[in-house]
Amino acid sequence: MTLTTFASLPWNAPFYERLGFRRLAGAERGGRLAALLRAEERRGLRDRVAMRLDLDGGIA
């Protein structure tokens, strides 16, 4: 499962990290998430990050 969220707001990326999501960097994002982050930036959203939760391990 993937999502995009604000990187530094405590109730966003840090919250999802506590649930088992991890931040994706560079090539890990793939084309779809990279394009989504670019589109969000064009709309004025800054400090965004893509994250993934591997569902085989479930939510912590």
Domain span holding position 46: 2-52
Across the range 11-32, mean pLDDT stands at 92
The percentage of residues in the chain with a pLDDT greater than 70, rounded to a whole number, is 93
Q: How many C-beta atoms lie closer than 10 Å to residue 34's C-beta?
A: 15
Domain-embedded: residue 32: yes
Q: What three-state secondary structure class fits 49?
A: strand
Cα(33)–Cα(18) distance, integer angstroms? 21
- Distance from first CA to last CA of the chain, Å, rounded? 14
**Looking at residue 49, what is its pLDDT?**
95
Cα(37)–Cα(40) distance, integer angstroms? 5
Domain-embedded: residue 9: yes
Asked if 30 and 4 count as a contact pair (C-beta separation under 8 A), the reply is no
pTM of the model: 0.83
Domain-embedded: residue 59: no
In the chain, the number of structural domains is 1
